[in-house]
Structure 1
Amino acid sequence: MRGVNISLGGAIVIAWFVIGLIASGQRHHFDSGPINCASSGTIALTVLAGPLNYMGVNPRVADCNVPQPSP
């Protein structure tokens, strides 16, 4: 019986991420021009939010500062 619970949990996680990918596609996140840190973060947050996107959640990353290597 324990194996069934793990399989069900895995299916729920996969469905969650698939719904998030669909929401990202519907918001045209993949159609934009060059990908930068902020757009990549927005896509990642939208996928992680999954079905919450359809309940009004609209995650966005406005700006991100990537650390530069020291000279």
Structure 2
Amino acid sequence: MRLGSIVVILWLVVGAFAAHQRNYYTKPIDDCNQVATIAVTILAGPLNYLGMNPKIACQTPQPSK
């Protein structure tokens, strides 16, 4: 169990570093697209260095008139 936990933590750390290298943390967050892209980049982990560049497009619900 301990080895699995270490692997998961290292996976997420590598993903967070990839998001940092893409300057996702320095830009102000304007919409859910940026939040989702950061989350997917972190979850992709080392796959980012194998050519994966995840981008997510989402829409927040608008208030009814």
- Same fold? TM cut 0.5: yes
1:14 is displaced (CA, Å) by 0.3
Alignment of 1:1-71 (within 5 A): 6-61=1-56, 63-68=57-62
TM-score (norm 1): 0.81
Normalised TM-score (structure 2): 0.88
**Unpaired segments of 5 or more residues in structure 1?**
1-5
Percent identity for Structure 1 against Structure 2: 46
Query: Pairwise CA RMSD of aligned residues?
Result: 1.6
Unaligned runs of 5+ in 2: none
Question: What is the total number of aligned residue pairs between the two structures?
Answer: 65
Q: Is the 8 A contact 2:29 2:35 kept in 1?
A: no
Determine which structure has more spread, i.e. the larger CA radius of gyration.
Answer: 1
Structure 1 segments (4+ residues) deviating >4 Å: 68-71
